[in-house]
Structure 1
Amino acid sequence: MSNVSTRDHSDLPASGRAPGPAVPLALAPIRSVADWRDAILAKLVYALGRDQRTASDRDWFEALALALRDRVVAHALDSDDLTRVAGHKRVYYLSLEFLVGRLLVDTLTNLDMTGLTRAALGELGADFERVRAAEPDAALGNGGLGRLAACFMESAASLAIPTCGYGIRYENGLFRQEIRNGVQVELPEDWLAAGNPWEIRRPERDCDIGFGGHVEQVGDDDGATRCVWHPAELVRAVAHDTPVIGWRARHANRLRLWSARAVAPLRLDAFNAGDYLGAVADDVRARSVSRVLYPSDTTPAGQELRLRQEYFFSAASLHDILRRHLAEGYDLSRLPDMAAIQLNDTHPAIAIAEMMRLLVDRHGTAWNEAWRITCGCFSYTNHTLLPEALETWPVALMERLLPRHMQIIYRLNADHLEAARAKGAASDSLQASLSMIDETQGRRVRMGTLAFVGSHRVNGVSALHTGLMRETVFHDLHVLHPDRITNVTNGITFRRWLFEANPRLTGLLVDVLGDAVLDDPSVLAGLRGLAGDPGLRARLIACRRANKVALSNLVGEQLGIGLDPDALFDVHVKRLHEYKRQLLNILEAVSLWQAIRARPAAGWVPRVKIFAGKAAASYAQARLIIRLINDVASVINNDPVTSDLLKVVFLPNFNVSLAEIIIPAADLSEQISTAGMEASGTGNMKFALNGALTIGTLDGANIEIRDHVGADNIFIFGLTAAEVAVRRLDGWHPECSIVASPALAGAIEAIGRGTFSPGEDTRFAPIVDELRRTDRFLVTADFDSYAEAQRRVAALWRDRDAWWRAAVLNTAGMGPFSSDRAIGEYAEKIWHVTGLER
């Protein structure tokens, strides 16, 4: 019995090949505002059953989304037809996260229908801004990984590269964050509570995914034996498609997300017997797979659910890929020619074992041929050098939950180690390092090693990160396969993070550089020659101030804190993690506060420190840092001596929509991770594109940003990655740095004695103890260098012409950081695919 349903409903005729392009759908042409008004109104009335006179903002949003979806679907079907007829290779992007955010304005922008829609809604008596705000954020990601995947999907469509993204349709997504008395509180993010008008349910694509059970050796008629997996449990993967339209509607792709259901959602016999809870127990268990993004894995049950999630969506996606390939009339031997499968981090790495299982067990492919096909299809993007983030799974859990896959991994590992011995890697230490099984921590499967060995290309996401991959986590594998690792520096979609997030700056750029800047990011370089133009600087200042006023209003509404829009807005927004060093920032804020109190008339630059970000529910130290930031803010913001010179703000529930307000208002971008620990970053690109200056370490893409914007236009500080490695090897004693820095010692002492936690002096003892004893992320080592860089920031801020010249040069240097460039490099270097010609 296979774990994948044999039900298959192809889009194609029995011949397996489409006869030609489909007949265009009979969508009413939109020639005027009246046409578009009537199309929206028709959806409101006939699709939603709402009355124009009583329709809510949410009703108008749904009607507009449905009207837009019709047009995007028409583009998507046309793109599918062109792809099939051309016999074009497809890209399949497997990611556990797709942080797409709100889609309304993104879709309107790419269809060039924003102005038309404003006018049409106005005639209908609806307010465009309120309607767009009625759309919930699709909370399908945690941070940079998921936002990168969303940018890549939009760029692939913009470049007409046939692509299907695969992930999980989380019912709750990442939690909604509230701050209560300074403490992070996690609440369900019910973004699907009112439905999702963008998605299309695809029941004909559903398939059944197995877990547990046993493996049987079965003899064939020719005397050979094959393995048959008999799962103990089946979970149905339910397909939901969201069409993704590219820039200027050149092409449309799809994002296919899987939700989990029981194969038999209701046991009627149990229900009739009065066991109402037992009757739906199987469905409750199945639905847990797609209930929440990143369930806590601090318990064995949580670890099992994480693994179930990863296998569930990977297996459903591979079933879909093979179904499509065979339905189009191709032999499986041609799969690498027709399908490029990208693993976004290690979460979908189990897909390599699943592909081998499907090819060998289900389709009868010989082992070596199956491995050729598998390696030819897969490529793997690594996003971290943190050992704890390179996933490993207990062998015992894998053997129980995925017994056939564990057998396949054992055989793959034996083949891999034998090949390594043949190349001279025969020592016990090298074999242990190269093995897919880590024997040092209770026997665990190394998913990063599986992904590396099963892929024809492995890429890092910045030049520094890729170099460190070769030197550290994948050093021994790199020696075996010296041509496998390549670099593709991350990028962001300018449509979202400039055109939509900052229309004021976009209008200025079009006025100065022409319409070409909307299609070609390299045109931004033309700003360099205008950096000294006082007229341009004046317009840029006006744009920024308007954005800062908008953010100040939001802070006032949400937190009741008044901000001065003429102050320096110093912004640190990203996931809370110790290596990202929000702690370094708030320590310097405490030190600055103490200095201002000591000399209030010393001519300080007014500054607003803005934080936002979520900490994993089980990450106690990160949650405590959030409380520290909020407690420090409470004291500083209410200090009459310093309140006009320094404010600290923590905005709750950071998401894509909030980022779109914060980033255009930022003057200074905090990118201060411990050097060698941030793979790339994309927030650094978004801020610099919008003209913020970066204060940062030589980490991730900060290095490449410095090279493109100029070393004089970025504030670099701290230890390099090489110096960090030396410190750790030599033995690191943070107390020495604390004793040598009175400012640092004073800040730590204030936190430790309860200045910011009156009545509970030991509240932040875990933070103080970490800083004094181990300081794994070298906060104390970099403190003085960071504080000195902040004084350079203040000095440049006082020189208004110099500051805004640097801001112009930051925007001018960001053309290479477009996700269009990144996707173009993936297509050329890794996927070997081109955009469709029309």
Structure 2
Amino acid sequence: MSNYFTDEYTFLSEFKSRLERRYIIELKDASIRQKYHVLGEMVSEVIAKNWLETNLELHDIDHKEVYYFSMEFLMGRLITNNIMNLGLRDTIEKAFAMEDLDLNAIEHYESDAGLGNGGLGRLAACFLDSIASMGYPGFGNGIRYRYGLFEQKIEDGYQVEKPDDWLKEGYVWEVRKEEEAVLIPFGGYVSFEDGNAVYYPDEQIHAVPYDVPVVGNHNGMVTSLRLWNAEPTDKRPPHLNAFEYDTEIRRISGFLYPDDATREGKVLRIKQQYFFSAAGVQNIVRKHMAKYNDLSTLPDKIVIQINDTHPSLVIAELMRLLVDDYHIDWEQAWTITTNTCAYTNHTILAEALEKWPVDIFEPVLPRIYQIIEEINRRFCKGLLDSNYPQETVTKLAIIADGVVKMAHLAIVGSFSVNGVAALHTDILKNIEMRDFNTLYPEKFNNKTNGITHRRWLLHSNPELSAILDMVSDNWVYDPMELQKLVKKATTKKYRALIKKMKLAKKKALAERIYDEQGIELDPSSIFDIQVKRLHEYKRQLMNALHIMYVYNKLKSDADFKANYVPHSFIFGAKAASGYYFAKKVIKLINTIAHKVNQDPDTNELLKVVFVENYNVTYAESIMPACDLSEQISTASKEASGTGNMKFMMNGAITIGTLDGANVEIAELVGEDNIVLFGLTSDEVNSRYENGGYQPLDVYHNHVDLRLVIDQLTNGFFEDVDKEEFREISDRLLQQDHYFVLEDFESYRQAHERANELYKDEEAWFKASIINIAKSGYFSSDRTIRQYAEEIWNIEPLK
């Protein structure tokens, strides 16, 4: 460790000196920006020493490594994570206290790295944290997006997308490794010369790596996330001039998830996916050859984990390298590839399983398409030779009906296929991918998702961490130690401590919301929170309809009003820029908020807020402040969820369906400590197969719900056109694919049970404590240990 952090006096002296040398300014006059960059540089120097030592050890020993390929890595601010995991926080805080400086303010200056959208990217970030903290040799591989998804603004209730320019001041943690850049080809044609495929691309681009350190928790280990940046070369398409080519190239690492509604958008997405997949694979093969000079040993030394379908082209690129560049025969190359790659499926939704039209895919990646064609030909021939009917072969084919099916490529080309929650994996094996599971029963397995308790409890909730320290001195290193809290659930002391903690976190969140949006929330009210990506199956719409129902009851039913515990409903979500219906739901939520928050008859009992630009940093304030966690997706639609785990770990009670990891939460905490409702996954799937649900029947038979639906279009909302929400009304009554109306009554009753539970303070905080105590299972440390032992076959460094 650098001598600068030996004590607060040495640190402060160097901190002041660096401000003067770099910015020609004294500490008293320095801005937050200047202080942040100097602090970041000093912390980076400590990281650099550990990073180098880790790399040298990895180079010198014979071991197996894992490379985690993901389109998203939603890392959040790294300064807090790095300071905590390096053990520097105490020294820095003491030094800053001497100068009346606020470390939190300096930490908050860092932008969230715009490298992800939601649960997929946050999961990947948690996994990297656990890999490093548990000492496993593992690395991330992704894209260095110039702009994140988007910065969300709410204007007149509508979502407005603005560029998320998170890199405008550089990124203090990254290290550019230009010497390790690789060339990525696109377009052109393939010629077969002397029996070998020779690829003549139209364009080539540089993939330049930037490495971001991933700091293990107090163990001296630093692994890395490698992010690839797209940069021009001299090889450009003939139809583009140099400036047009430069612009086109930089789009590849420009934006996360460009709109793929157009042909141009689809081409860009395919380029993005091949770009980081190919760059990562070439990097791995080059390193392996330099160390071992034998590609037959690749599966013994390397695992490539494909996180969702986006990096599935890893399989085709590895085959291309082995067959074209190293002239390994196809069968051996296929054995190497299929024993190196493993695939994690994250979805049950058919529309989310990527399929690319052949007429778009082939011109962009002509040689890769040929490779996939040959994989498909041999796969289908094997099935036909084994007497599988043609109908089944066509159904399982990687290329069929004019599209390339990325999930099929990932399944056929991997030695392991895992789901991310017990229910999700059962649905994959028995419904969505039943034929593949019959074909490859040994491949399918479950690895229930997890979250890093270091960020989502230790870092974001020091008040709760202090309580846990009274029960266990080892829970940070072994989160299963949280179980010791169970016996405290019946004690007045610990219920009082949890209540005090929760109130403090609610006050802090209420202050932030008031400062930013001018909406005043009562910290003694139930903080009922739904924060996640805006999608129809997640059913933010059902939550909104229920708030309208509550408002109507408060206005018309004196007994209901007298019995109702004050509620603050908090939403946070981004809708994909091209997802028109989801954006309309955001407008509805904000319209409801405007109406109910202004009504003096009800606003002491009911408030609604849609927080702007929900991200990882905002989540660190929201998760600890939650009383009631809304996990209300249509059963069988949510693969797992991780927000449900973060809320649970911070003492919230879940109100939810038996979907995703909610099933496992319910099993762990028991039915008295969770509020369940709604159709089960079997019931949902039965209705899809057999019909029997008529939303109009529900509408006509449920008086209170009919009023709510009518209010969408009868002028109830004075500040919008009567037809503003006609599309929502029509969708609910004509094609309610996600059973919003059918589950509404059960959801309403669940809220009544939650309302009564909250009144019983002893029962509520007992349930809260049991949720915290049982949340250790959902640490990503447990998940990563299962991946390491059951899929990757890797060992931690000693």
* TM-score w.r.t. length of structure 1: 0.93
User: 1:77/1:759 Cα in 2 relative to 1: closer, same or farther (>3 Å)?
Assistant: closer
C-alpha distance in 2, partners of 1:492/1:49?
42
Q: Is the CA contact 1:490–1:682 (under 8 Å) kept in the aligned structure 2?
A: yes
Q: Equivalent residue for 2:189?
A: 214
Q: Is the CA contact 1:98–1:149 (under 8 Å) kept in the aligned structure 2?
A: yes
Alignment of 1:117-266 (within 5 A): 117-123=92-98, 126-219=101-194, 225-264=195-234
C-alpha distance in 2, partners of 1:391/1:422?
28
Q: Equivalent residue for 1:525?
A: 483
C-alpha distance in 1, partners of 2:383/2:776?
42
C-alpha distance in 1, partners of 2:391/2:640?
31
Q: Is the CA contact 2:472–2:482 (under 8 Å) kept in the aligned structure 1?
A: no
Correspondent of 1:437 among 388, 391, 399: 399
* TM-score w.r.t. length of structure 2: 0.98
C-alpha distance in 2, partners of 1:75/1:729?
56
Give the SS at the match of 2:121.
helix
C-alpha distance in 2, partners of 1:40/1:515?
33
User: 1:303/1:755 Cα in 2 relative to 1: closer, same or farther (>3 Å)?
Assistant: same
Q: Is the CA contact 2:202–2:236 (under 8 Å) kept in the aligned structure 1?
A: no
User: 1:711/1:453 Cα in 2 relative to 1: closer, same or farther (>3 Å)?
Assistant: same
Q: Equivalent residue for 2:496?
A: 538
Gaps of 5+ in 2: none
Q: Is the CA contact 2:648–2:772 (under 8 Å) kept in the aligned structure 1?
A: yes
User: 1:65/1:767 Cα in 2 relative to 1: closer, same or farther (>3 Å)?
Assistant: same
Q: Equivalent residue for 2:629?
A: 669
User: 1:132/1:354 Cα in 2 relative to 1: closer, same or farther (>3 Å)?
Assistant: same
Q: Is the CA contact 1:50–1:59 (under 8 Å) kept in the aligned structure 2?
A: no
| Cα displacement (A) at 1:756 | 2.2
Q: Is the CA contact 2:81–2:455 (under 8 Å) kept in the aligned structure 1?
A: yes
Which stretch shows the higher mean deviation, 63-72 or 167-176?
63-72
Alignment of 1:264-343 (within 5 A): 264=234, 278-343=241-306
C-alpha distance in 1, partners of 2:148/2:5?
36
Alignment of 1:688-727 (within 5 A): 688-727=648-687
1:81-110, Cα deviation, whole Å (9 max, x unpaired): 222222111110100000001001111111
C-alpha distance in 2, partners of 1:528/1:206?
52
Correspondent of 1:477 among 410, 432, 436: 436
Q: Equivalent residue for 2:390?
A: 428
User: Are residue 624 (structure 1) and residue 594 (structure 2) matched?
Assistant: no
Q: Is the CA contact 1:157–1:250 (under 8 Å) kept in the aligned structure 2?
A: no
User: Are residue 464 (structure 1) and residue 426 (structure 2) matched?
Assistant: no
Q: Equivalent residue for 1:831?
A: 792
| Cα displacement (A) at 1:45 | 4.1
Give the SS at the match of 2:112.
coil
Correspondent of 1:821 among 772, 782, 785: 782
C-alpha distance in 2, partners of 1:127/1:155?
29
C-alpha distance in 2, partners of 1:226/1:45?
62
User: Are residue 797 (structure 1) and residue 758 (structure 2) matched?
Assistant: yes
1:637-694, Cα deviation, whole Å (9 max, x unpaired): 0111110000011001000000000110000000000000000000000000000000
Q: Is the CA contact 1:757–1:763 (under 8 Å) kept in the aligned structure 2?
A: no
Give the SS at the match of 1:104.
helix
| Cα displacement (A) at 1:754 | 2.9
Give the SS at the match of 1:754.
coil
Q: Equivalent residue for 1:15?
A: none
C-alpha distance in 1, partners of 2:322/2:387?
31
C-alpha distance in 2, partners of 1:43/1:199?
20
C-alpha distance in 1, partners of 2:129/2:718?
46
Q: Is the CA contact 2:347–2:638 (under 8 Å) kept in the aligned structure 1?
A: yes
User: Are residue 108 (structure 1) and residue 90 (structure 2) matched?
Assistant: no
Q: Is the CA contact 1:393–1:444 (under 8 Å) kept in the aligned structure 2?
A: yes
Q: Equivalent residue for 1:368?
A: 331
C-alpha distance in 2, partners of 1:181/1:739?
33
Correspondent of 1:419 among 382, 386, 394: 382
User: Are residue 610 (structure 1) and residue 585 (structure 2) matched?
Assistant: no
C-alpha distance in 1, partners of 2:45/2:74?
23
Give the SS at the match of 1:547.
helix
C-alpha distance in 2, partners of 1:466/1:39?
53
Q: Equivalent residue for 1:274?
A: none
User: Are residue 645 (structure 1) and residue 605 (structure 2) matched?
Assistant: yes
C-alpha distance in 2, partners of 1:247/1:159?
8
Amino acid across the alignment from 2:216? G
C-alpha distance in 1, partners of 2:495/2:258?
47
* Aligned Cα root-mean-square deviation (Å): 1.7
Give the SS at the match of 1:813.
helix
C-alpha distance in 1, partners of 2:497/2:61?
48
Q: Equivalent residue for 1:744?
A: 705
Amino acid across the alignment from 1:599? D
User: 1:45/1:356 Cα in 2 relative to 1: closer, same or farther (>3 Å)?
Assistant: farther
Q: Is the CA contact 2:274–2:311 (under 8 Å) kept in the aligned structure 1?
A: yes
Q: Is the CA contact 1:266–1:280 (under 8 Å) kept in the aligned structure 2?
A: no
Amino acid across the alignment from 2:48? V
| Cα displacement (A) at 1:538 | 0.7
Give the SS at the match of 1:747.
helix
Give the SS at the match of 1:737.
helix
Q: Is the CA contact 2:4–2:14 (under 8 Å) kept in the aligned structure 1?
A: no
User: 1:700/1:49 Cα in 2 relative to 1: closer, same or farther (>3 Å)?
Assistant: farther
Q: Is the CA contact 1:377–1:456 (under 8 Å) kept in the aligned structure 2?
A: yes
Amino acid across the alignment from 1:475? R
User: 1:230/1:734 Cα in 2 relative to 1: closer, same or farther (>3 Å)?
Assistant: same
Q: Is the CA contact 1:466–1:486 (under 8 Å) kept in the aligned structure 2?
A: yes
Give the SS at the match of 1:137.
coil
Amino acid across the alignment from 2:385? A
Q: Equivalent residue for 1:14?
A: none
| Cα displacement (A) at 1:397 | 1.1
| Cα displacement (A) at 1:42 | 4.7
C-alpha distance in 1, partners of 2:678/2:368?
45
Q: Is the CA contact 2:202–2:235 (under 8 Å) kept in the aligned structure 1?
A: no
Amino acid across the alignment from 1:482? P
Q: Is the CA contact 2:204–2:235 (under 8 Å) kept in the aligned structure 1?
A: no
Q: Give aligned pairs, total.
A: 795
Q: Is the CA contact 1:420–1:480 (under 8 Å) kept in the aligned structure 2?
A: no
Q: Is the CA contact 1:497–1:686 (under 8 Å) kept in the aligned structure 2?
A: yes
Q: Equivalent residue for 1:455?
A: 414
Give the SS at the match of 1:164.
strand
Amino acid across the alignment from 2:737? R
Correspondent of 2:533 among 549, 567, 575: 575
User: 1:71/1:299 Cα in 2 relative to 1: closer, same or farther (>3 Å)?
Assistant: same
Identity %: 43
C-alpha distance in 1, partners of 2:407/2:621?
36
Correspondent of 1:547 among 505, 523, 546: 505
Q: Equivalent residue for 1:8?
A: none
Correspondent of 1:634 among 569, 594, 611: 594
C-alpha distance in 1, partners of 2:288/2:718?
62
Give the SS at the match of 2:199.
strand
Q: Is the CA contact 2:572–2:611 (under 8 Å) kept in the aligned structure 1?
A: yes
Correspondent of 2:639 among 667, 679, 696: 679
User: Are residue 86 (structure 1) and residue 57 (structure 2) matched?
Assistant: no
Amino acid across the alignment from 1:354? E
Gaps of 5+ in 1: 1-25, 220-224, 271-276
C-alpha distance in 2, partners of 1:807/1:27?
42
C-alpha distance in 2, partners of 1:127/1:615?
34
